[in-house]
Amino acid sequence: MLALWIILGIVVILLIFFIATYNGLVRLRNQMRNAWAQIDVQLKRRHDLIPNLVETVKGYKIHERETLEAVTKARNLAQSLSGGDVGARSKAEGELSNALSRLLAVVERYPDLKANQNFLALQEELTSTENKISFSRQYYNDSALNLNNKIQMFPSNVVASMTGFKPGEFFEVTAEAERAAPKVSFS
Amino acid sequence: MWQQIRANQWRSVVLTTGMAIILLLIGYLVGYYFFDNAIVGLIIALLVWGGLSLLAYFQGDSILLSLSRAKKITRDDNPRLYNVVEEMKIASGLEKMPDIYIIDDPALNAFATGRDPNKASVAVTSGLLAKLNRDELQGVIGHEMAHVKNRDVLLMAICAVMLGTIVILAWYTTRILFFSGAGSRRSSSSGGGGGAQAIILLVGIVLMILAPILAQIIYFTISRKREYLADASSALYTRYPEGLASALEKIAASPIQLKSANQATAPMYTINPLRQKGKAAANLTSTHPPIQERIRILRAMAGASFADYDKAYKGVRSSSGGVIRGAAGLVGKVELRAPSKETKTGEELSEKVERTRQTSDMMWRLSDYKTLDCPCGTRLRVSSQFKGVDVRCPHCGRILPV
């Protein structure tokens, strides 16, 4: 009789553990998907801002045709890939980031443009959107790391493999300029 | 990474429980002296505490915001602030965008409020907005977001109310005991053993005097722990601890005190608004850790993770005990990011002037003043109370339509 109760107790404990772990995994996966949706929102916002920026800059007759065209091209490529897989998208978006930062660097040489309120507002929006993209990517990668840890570590890996959880894919930075972030010295 | 927050909450729960025990002890003594029945006292203590807690829970944020005369702003009022808050909202993984408030005050400070992460508000002073660059503002907002995300606002509200209840009960009880001798009723009814009664009365009074002090020390301990955690979280969100460090430096260097802060609301702010110039904060009786120490810890961080903060904390305080429990067992390295363009090129005077001008324009707008630009370059502010159709520019004499 006692043995039966002990076995029953163990089964109940295992069941509770299973449910708790499963729910935890689902929560992490939802958090990751949510974070992914957030990246999407920001990338789309950037695609929407660029035509505006290009128009404003064009009005000032700057002599940087190629830089402008590179931005438009990168933007169109990134937009056409927006339904695609993570790897291809992060590459295209990385190139767009590069083209954009080149354009914004060029613009520094045109004081007239820098005095334009419309342009300043656009620049603030673009800077912030760039930040939001990297923050949402950061949060997405943290969420993916959390989920992957759970999926690979014992004992939650047992539950994960039984219920078929797949590890999340990281949103890597492929742009060379971003990867080679300068070392910060605190002195 | 985010599980650490829960681990840290455990310590706060223990301390909060300690405070609750002090509250119950006070209630017990009140009942013992005044009603010959300890249970009545316990009920009184719980009623006072419960009532104040409900008030704080449902009205706390609006009371705090109106006490500090904060004005709510929209995206168009200050796109830079709105964007920075939104960036930190994304980085912290908060689901809902908090409301943003501005306090018209030249002092540099900010606070967060709201009982849960979905109903949060952040308030910053106009002085802060004018003085900090983007990276620094991001660090401060990250710190406030961390308070929201870690549920510090709720925790500190619970503790503040408990502390308030303890102080009120202890204060009244000691006064009544001293001046009306309520305890004598008890000793006469029980006949003999007056000496023992006197001793109990004495012990009670000593406890009544000690309890508020003890509760206050616990309160400050919790508050300081949450400040360190918020600093660490801010570094994690922004991946740039230097931003917050340099903001704290600017704040520390500013001699202006916040007009609308008081003892009760002090723990809500980024830095202690009541600090006195030239006086090092005493360790036990301060809601905030010393600002120079916070700066040194942030600057000693090798990465942006909690583990890095913990290591820096131990290094700066040369203590073996860390501030974030379980931080060492974290997986993965969190790298710092590069400073933004604004910080890298150094601040130009024109940027500072532009920021100050934008902030003051916004404050005029928020106070219902109309701005008129005269062709001679003079800028006129016209109150909404002004009834006339046009005004005369005091500089060049042109007549301008309102």
Q: Which residue of A has its CA nearest to B93?
A: A139
Length of chain B: 402
Alpha carbon separation from B84 to B97, B131, B257 (Å, rounded): 11, 15, 25
The reply to whether omega before A155 is within 30° of 0 (cis) is yes
Q: pLDDT grade, residue A8 (50/70/90)?
A: very high
B26, B18 in Cβ contact below 8 A?
Answer: no
B371, B361 in Cβ contact below 8 A?
Answer: yes
Query: Is A106 within 8 Å of chain B by CB?
Result: no
Helix-strand-coil split of chain A, %, nearest 5: 80, 0, 20
Given CA atoms A19, A24, A29, A30 in this order, what sign does their dihedral have? Answer: positive
* pTM of the complete model: 0.79
Q: Give pLDDT, residue B327.
A: 52
Axis-axis angle for helices B194-238, B241-253 (nearest 10): 120
- Contact at CB, A139 and B93, closer than 8 angstroms: yes
Which stretch of A122-131, A162-171, B114-123 has the lowest confidence by average pLDDT?
A162-171
Chain A residues with CB-CB distance to B240 below 8 A: 184
Distance CA A85, CA A77 (A): 14
In which element (H, E) is residue B207 found? helix B194-238
* Long-range interactions of B192-199: CB distance < 8 A, separation 24+: none
Q: Residues 17 to 46 of A: which have CB under 8 A from any B CB?
A: 31, 35, 38, 42
Q: Residues 225 to 264 of B: which have CB under 8 A from any A CB?
A: 237, 239-240, 242
Q: Give pLDDT, residue B83.
A: 93
Q: Give pLDDT, residue B211.
A: 81
pLDDT in tens, B381-391: 888 788 878 88
Q: Give pLDDT, residue B287.
A: 65
Q: Give pLDDT, residue B99.
A: 92
Q: Which residues of B are catalytic?
A: 144
Taking the domains of chain B in order of start, what are their residue ranges? Answer: 3-329, 368-401
Distance CA B133, CA B176 (A): 54
Closest residue by Cα to residue B248 from B78, B65, B110: B110
Which stretches of A47-153 are assigned E, i.e. beta strand?
none
Mean per-residue pLDDT pooled into runs of 10, chain B (402 residues): 53 79 83 78 84 82 80 87 93 89 86 83 89 91 90 81 82 74 48 64 78 82 84 89 90 72 58 51 56 88 82 80 58 67 65 78 80 80 81 82 78
Q: Give pLDDT, residue A5.
A: 92
- Contact at CB, B239 and A182, closer than 8 angstroms: no
Distance CA B396, CA B393 (A): 6
**B308 CA to chain A: closest CA distance, Å?**
14
Query: Phi and psi (nearest 5°) for B200?
Result: -60, -40
- Contact at CB, A132 and B2, closer than 8 angstroms: no
* Nearest CB neighbour to A184, from listed B1, B2, B339: B339
- Contact at CB, A124 and B79, closer than 8 angstroms: yes
What ipTM is given for this predicted complex? 0.79
Q: Give pLDDT, residue B346.
A: 62
* Nearest CB neighbour to A132, from listed B87, B237, B239: B87
Q: In 10 A of CB A90, how many CB atoms?
A: 22
* Nearest CB neighbour to A38, from listed B79, B90, B237: B90
